[in-house]
Structure 1
Amino acid sequence: MRNWYRSTIGGLPGLYWYLWTGMLINRIGGFVALVLSLYLTADRHLTIPVAGLVVGAYGVGGVAGVLLGGVLADRWGRRPTLLLAHFGAVVVLCGLIFARPIPLIAVLAALLGVMHSMPGPAFVAAIVDVTPAGDRSRAFNLQFWAFNLGMAVASVLAGALAEVSFALLFAVDASGTLVTALLILWKVHETRPARHPVATTAPGGLHTALTDRAYMLFVGLSLLLAVLSTQTSTILPLAITGDGLRPSVYGSVVAYAALLIVVGQLFVPRLIGRWRKGTALAVANVLLGLGFAAVSLADGVLGYLAAATIWTAGSMIAAPPNAAVIAELSPEALRGRYQSVFYLTFPAAGFIAPAAGGVSLSYLGDWHWVVCGGLGLLAAAGHLLIQPARERRVATELKAERFTVPVAG
């Protein structure tokens, strides 16, 4: 047990744990997005198409928030960005409690999307700032664990509070967000590294990240992984009900996958600790592909649970090296921007997975899941191919840093 604690939790900086706690509290309290469509149809009596447009406004705000959060994290700093996002979210949530005109609710939903997405790049950039390179894989593994634990708790709370009062739901969410903001204000100092003269003269902005060939190759492969992972929330429910199973079966499969992550994620660092990052990502994508390919054979609860076991194992293995690779490819002065470019894979996957997946499932049937398996194998091969060049780049940059002499005064 002592060895497990040392290899999984021990040795991480104290500031990291304040950031980790803030993310966990924020995720547990951040359940408005989970029931926004239900609030609009059940409480505000909107039609499903109109409710879909309002929820879409939240998604558009999320894209803008990711980019804005990355830019502000580099320009203003991690702490000011986190404080703006959390205090801003409190104000928007309080506004939703009293808002009645539908256009106003749509505007507030878009602003909430901005505020909910802004902290992501800043949180991760701050973790990279304060965590030694050798410990980042463990740090991001624990972050992924906290994210899924918070999502599991948030799902339960959202369902319970929605049955009592949506106003109470917004108020509780605002309270959790306020607690996170106060924790950051009290315990989290600015972590952005002081800019060296080299960094200030180098090209910056999102353009640098978007034209970084090695990084964008990695982001492209990450998009394939995100498209696969998003199958669980977009196409999988259609497959399960299409097999004549009740919607509650889908809920059970998702809950089972979340439970696997909560129980097993803390053991992942010891499992993959000696693996090269690209190798770990290749294995993760193979498992994701095999898991979703197995859905083509599933026609009952046990079949879907077995498939979920395989793809969830892939998700757990992918989390630590995924974040660590982003950290080592991101220039110190542009960490927030690089994080924001990576975070765009999630809304992109949120569009691609249902749009392409719906057509694929309609025309291909169970062969859709075989195609998903092929995408997993393709992504795995890609990670193995780009791994040597990426490792050479990282080694070259580390060597250059060692011989960089700081300029005085």
Structure 2
Amino acid sequence: MRGWLRTTAGGLPSTYWYLWAGLLINRLGGFAVLFLSLYLTAERGASTAVAGLVVGTYGLGGVLGTLAGGVLTDRWGRRRTLLCSHLAGAAALAALAFAGSLPLIAALCALLGLAQAMPAPAFVAAIIDMVPADNRLRAFNLEFWAFNLGAAGASLVAGLLAEWSYVGMFLLDAASTLAAVAVIAWKVPETLHRPAAPDPALGPARQSARGRDDGGRDDGGPRDSGRGDGGLRAVLGDRIFLAFAGLTLLQALVYTQNSTIVPLAMRADGLSPSAYGTVVAVSAALIVVGQLFVPRLIDNRLKARVLATAQAITAVGFGLLAVADRLPSYLGAAAIWTVGSMLAAPPNAAINSELAPASLRGRYQAVFYLTFPAAAFLAPALGGAGLQYLGGLHWLVVAGVALLAAALHLVAGPSRERHAATIRTETAATAKVR
């Protein structure tokens, strides 16, 4: 057991664990977004389609927040971006607790989406900064595990809190966000290392050489000039990275159904909010128990095949919802799609971390994480109408999207692997020069 723990969680820097703890604390209270659609239909009288549109504003805000978070992560730094975004999120949650009209709730949902999307590029960039490349797969796997460990703890009481008081639910979520702020402010230093100032003792040729060395790639992606001024244009010119981000969007569109449309389907079947809380808790508990074993299961396997398999499994899980009408059938479907998400998380993070040059890490993460707020808008906006007008057939459409993503991963995999091999060769050559 000690050997397994060392290979699973050993060798990571202490700062990583404080960052990990901040994420865990935040997720332990992060249940408000899960129940937004139920809150709108049960407490504010919104229809299923209207609730989907209002919840979709969370995704629209997330698009802006992700872009802003990526730029600020590279300019402000990781720590300041994390602190400011968490504080803004706590304020939005507290305001949602007392908002009455649907337009105001929609505006606050957009603000909350912006604030909760901003930390993602900073979290990932900080992990890449502080964790050596050989340990990043484990670090990202543990990050995903912490996210779901927190979700499991929150889900155990979230359904009961929703039945007791939606106001209390929003306020407790805000309090957990502030607790995460305290941990990050106390123990997480800035990890962004800016290029050194010009040394007047060096000649122009040596200054140029040092500039190229500072800006050399260490994780993948197109060669960077070292100035970090390519901005989003450099990211948007990386076609292999964009293709990967597009496939991640398809994956996110499917999986976001879990937090936006599944609760509405369960409500339509006469199930209570606590029943949905049980589904979320069981799904998160499966991840808590099984996620630490996933790296060994998929180690030395082609990432494209792992991702294709994960999407096929996810398709089966969501497809089963076409005939689900009782809690046990929902729990069985959730168990299947959870296995898919568990398999997909480590290779997704590993590929993402390989493709970002050091001076543009924040911007690369911003473009990658745009897929999640985009899905947070598209999934409820389209899914709410789909469930209302297609009924059970909606879930067959969702399953079809997952199967499409599986097929495209197999098609895109070889070129992505060749690109990664080129990156590794160039990185090794750069390391020898240094």
Q: Deviations over 1:77-129 (max 9, x none)?
A: 11111122123334555666787898777655543332222111101111122
- Where does 1:147-158 land on structure 2 (aligned, <5 Å)? 147-158=147-158
| Whole-Å separation in 1 of the counterparts to 2:37 and 2:149 | 23
Equivalent residue, structure 2, for 1:291: 317
The answer to whether residue 161 in structure 2 is matched with residue 185 in structure 1 is no
CA 1:91 to 1:260, structure 2 compared with 1: closer, same or farther past 3 Å?
A: closer
Q: Provide the residue aligned with 2:76 in structure 1.
A: 76
Whole-angstrom CA distance in 2 between matches of 1:364 and 1:100: 31
| Deviates further, 115-124 or 33-42 | 33-42
Q: Secondary structure of 2:11's match?
A: coil
- Matches of 1:200 and 1:231, distance apart in 2: 41
Distance 1:5 1:48, change over 3 A: same
State how far apart, in whole Å, the 1-side matches of 2:235 and 2:126 are.
18
What is the CA-CA distance between 1:357 and the residue it aligns to? 4.1
Choose 112-121 or 68-77, whichever is displaced more: 112-121
Q: Which residue of 1 aligns with 2:8?
A: 8
CA RMSD of aligned residues (A): 3.5
Whether the 8 Å CA contact 2:155–2:281 is kept in 1: the answer is no
Cα contact 2:59–2:377 (8 A) shared by 1: no
**Quick one: distance in 2 between partners of 1:156 and 1:350?**
23
For the Cα contact (< 8 Å) 1:221–1:379, is it kept in 2?
A: yes
Contact 2:56/2:381 (CA < 8 Å) preserved in 1? no
Residue number in structure 2 paired with 1:48 = 46
Gaps of 5+ in 1: none
Which runs of no fewer than 5 residues in structure 2 stay unpaired?
196-213, 216-223
Equivalent residue number for residue 25 of structure 2: 25
Q: 1:245 to 1:68 in 2, by over 3 A?
A: same
Which of the numbers 290, 293, 302 marks the counterpart of 1:264?
Answer: 290
For 2:271, the equivalent position in structure 1 comes to 246
Closer, same or farther: CA 389–296 of 1 in aligned 2, 3 Å? same
Query: In structure 1, what residue type is equivalent to 2:239?
Result: R
Alpha-carbon distance between aligned partners in 2 of 1:263 and 1:58, rounded to the nearest angstrom: 30
Q: What is the letter of the counterpart of residue 211 of structure 1?
A: G
The higher-RCO structure (CA 8 Å, 6+ apart) is: 2
Matches of residues 28-177 of structure 1 in structure 2 within 5 Å? 28-35=28-35, 48=46, 57-93=57-93, 109-161=109-161, 169-177=169-177
Report the residue type matching 1:351 in the other structure: F
Secondary structure of 1:191's match? coil
Superposed CA offset, 1:20-71 (max 9, x none) = 10101112233444455677788xx755379877655544332221111111
Kept in 1, the 8 Å contact 2:58–2:377? The answer is no
2:369 to 334, 343, 347: 343
Q: Is the 8 Å Cα contact of residues 293 and 370 (structure 1) preserved in structure 2?
A: yes
Residue 370 of structure 1: how far off its partner (Å)? 3.9
Q: CA deviation at 1:276?
A: 2.2
Q: Distance in 2 between matches of 1:287 and 1:280?
A: 11
Contact 2:275 2:327 in 1 (8 A): yes
Aligned to 1:327: 353
Q: 2:429 aligns with which of 379, 403, 406?
A: 403
Q: 1:199 to 1:177 in 2, by over 3 A?
A: farther
- SS state of the match for residue 192, structure 2? coil
Question: The residue matched to 1:341 in structure 2 has which SS?
Answer: helix
Aligned pairs, number = 405
Is the 8 Å Cα contact of residues 86 and 178 (structure 2) preserved in structure 1? yes
Structure 1, 337-346 or 213-222: larger mean CA deviation: 337-346
3-state SS of 1:200 partner:
coil
Question: Which deviates further from its counterpart, 83-92 or 332-341?
Answer: 83-92
